Amino acid sequence: MSTHTASFFWGTSTSAYQIEGGNTNCDWWRYERAENTHAVEVCGDACDSWNRYEEDLDILVGLGLNAFRLSVEWARIEPEHGVFSRDALEHYRRVLEACHARGVTAVVTLHHFTLPLWVADAGGFESPHIVSWMATYAREVSASLGDLIGVACTINEPNIVAIMGYLIGLFPPQVTSWDRFVAVNQTMRACHIAMRDELKAGPGDFPVGLPLSMQEYEAVPGFEDELNSFREEMEDKYLLALRGEDYVGVQCYTKLIVGPNGVVTDPDGEVTDMGYLYWPQCVDYTVRRAIALSGAPIIVTENGIGTADDTQRIRYLDEALRGVRGLLDDGLDVRGYFQWSLLDNFEWTFGYRPRFGLVEVDRLTFRRTPKPSAQWFADAVRDFFTTA
Ligand code: BGC
């Protein structure tokens, strides 16, 4: 049996844009309404969690979980350059206080995919000012919320922002350039350091880390070099730069094949509603790789499956948690597991079709209905450290 029992974080992950609703002042809101984008529908009211966060937290606590990962929205906090919204910051203080009141550790992400319009319009991650803008934003979050933060994440999946926004062109600003992708990745690492230093300098004493998108990769024989150079940009440069950090957040969903057609999903395997290969073994694989390269403690800050078939979700989570158990049994420093996601929510360009939630959300009434997987997860977490 592991000794981690009491301190291990068991939670679910969410992000502001995907659940709050009404985040009108950011690049995604505009992107969903523009011509010639890849968005299939608008985010709109999302899950109305801006108003229903207490209900969400009650569900989480009812499942026996001790941690909640959420993000705060930069576009609400700093709606104009240098103008900070007391209303927004007070709202987020209430959310974090609601976590505390329930004994839930608040894992707070400062940037999860969206940029305020004023930042996007001034060049976004290619602006020469982006590092200082993000540092200033982090300073404000730290000063206003730091005493209530349990764990901080600076930038969610900077490598996904870079690849989707600057290499493949599926996210704003829809650029397709290897060089710009590489440059944005580099800028992201500078942003992380600047934000981390601001968070460390402010009130509160909490671990600060970066949640990285990682996948298991496999090369078609003869394409090993392609795999290595792609993965070097997506993962290795980040993980090596994160040596000595408080923790690295691992976020993993699947396995990808690198071959003559680029990076693809295995066409012969079982696929999920995201078109991803069903591959819960990725947790074991990616955590070991993250530790090998970074040497840092790990929190699995996201793992889950987009599927309308809740029995497939249970099967996936069961296998993923076996992976976590194997890691702990091998003595690896894994400090938590966050399932993505508490609620069925807005899945970016895919809209509301992929269902990642343990809890269904009625799109008209916002009524929350836990699925069988919610109870399954609660039972699995309750018994995790007491069963072999
Ligand atoms: C992102 C989430 C997203 C999830 C499922 C992660 O890449 O952080 O925002 O919803 O994967 O696709």
For a mutational test of ligand 1's pocket, the pick from 159, 348, 353, 358, i.e. the residue with the most ligand atoms closer than 8 A to its C-beta, is 348
Tally: H helices and E strands in the chain:
14, 13
134: left (phi > 0), else alpha (psi -120 to 50), else beta? alpha
| pLDDT per residue as tens digits for the range 101-112 | 999 999 999 999
Asked if residue 285 is part of any domain, the answer here is no
Assess if residue 388 is contained within a domain: no
Question: Strand runs (DSSP E) across 204-270, as ranges?
Answer: 208-213, 216-219, 247-252, 255-259, 262-265
CA atoms of 343 and 349, how far apart (whole Å) = 17
Q: Which atom of ligand 1 is nearest to the CA of 345?
A: 10
User: Taking residues 133-147, what's their average pLDDT?
Assistant: 98
Please indicate, yes or no, if residue 272 is contained in any of the structural domains.
no
Q: Is residue 310 part of a domain?
A: yes
User: In the structure, what pLDDT confidence band is assigned to residue 5 with cuts at 50, 70 and 90?
Assistant: low
Greatest mean pLDDT among 1-10, 46-55, 262-271 lies in 46-55
Pocket test for ligand 1, best of 114, 272, 340 (most atoms within 8 A of CB): 340
Q: Which of 18, 347, 355, 358 has the most ligand 1 atoms within 8 A of CB, as the residue to mutate?
A: 347
Rounded-to-integer distance, Cα 38 and Cα 210, Å: 27
> Is 255 within the bounds of a domain?
no
d(C-alpha 50, C-alpha 194), whole Å: 28
Does some domain include residue 279? no
How far, in Å, is the centroid of ligand 1 from the Cα of 347?
A: 7
- Cα(156) to centroid(ligand 1), Å: 9
Which residue's alpha carbon is at the smallest distance from atom 10 of ligand 1? 347
- Alpha helix (H) ranges present in the chain? 16-19, 27-31, 49-62, 74-77, 86-101, 117-121, 130-145, 158-162, 178-201, 224-231, 237-241, 282-294, 310-329, 372-383
Question: With contact defined as beta carbons under 8 Å apart, do 273 and 354 qualify?
Answer: yes
Confirm if 44 and 354 have CB atoms less than 8 A apart: no
Q: Strands 359-361, 334-340: parallel, antiparallel or unpaired by DSSP?
A: unpaired
3-state secondary structure of 378: helix
Q: In this structure, what CATH number is given to the domain that contains residue 57?
A: 3.20.20.80
What residues form DSSP beta bridges with 211? 249
Q: Residue 308 sits in which domain range?
A: 2-210+304-383
In a domain, 143, yes or no: yes
Map residue 369 onto helix, strand or coil: strand
Query: Which of ligand 1's atoms lies nearest the C-alpha of 213?
Result: 7
pLDDT in tens, 351-381: 999 999 999 999 999 999 999 999 999 999 9
Counting atoms of ligand 1 from 1, which one is nearest the CA of 350? 12
Nearest to 133 by CA among 149, 152, 102, 155: 155
Which residues' Cβ are closer than 6 Å to ligand 1?
A: 15, 18, 156-157, 160, 213, 251, 302, 340, 347, 356
Q: Which of 94, 77, 92 minimizes the C-alpha distance to 140?
A: 77
**What is the Å distance from ligand 1's center to 46 Cα?**
15
In this predicted structure, what is the pLDDT of residue 267? Answer: 77
> How confident is the model over 201-226, as pLDDT tens digits?
999 999 999 999 999 999 999 999 99
Domains contained in the chain, number: 1
Closest Cα to atom 3 of ligand 1 = 347
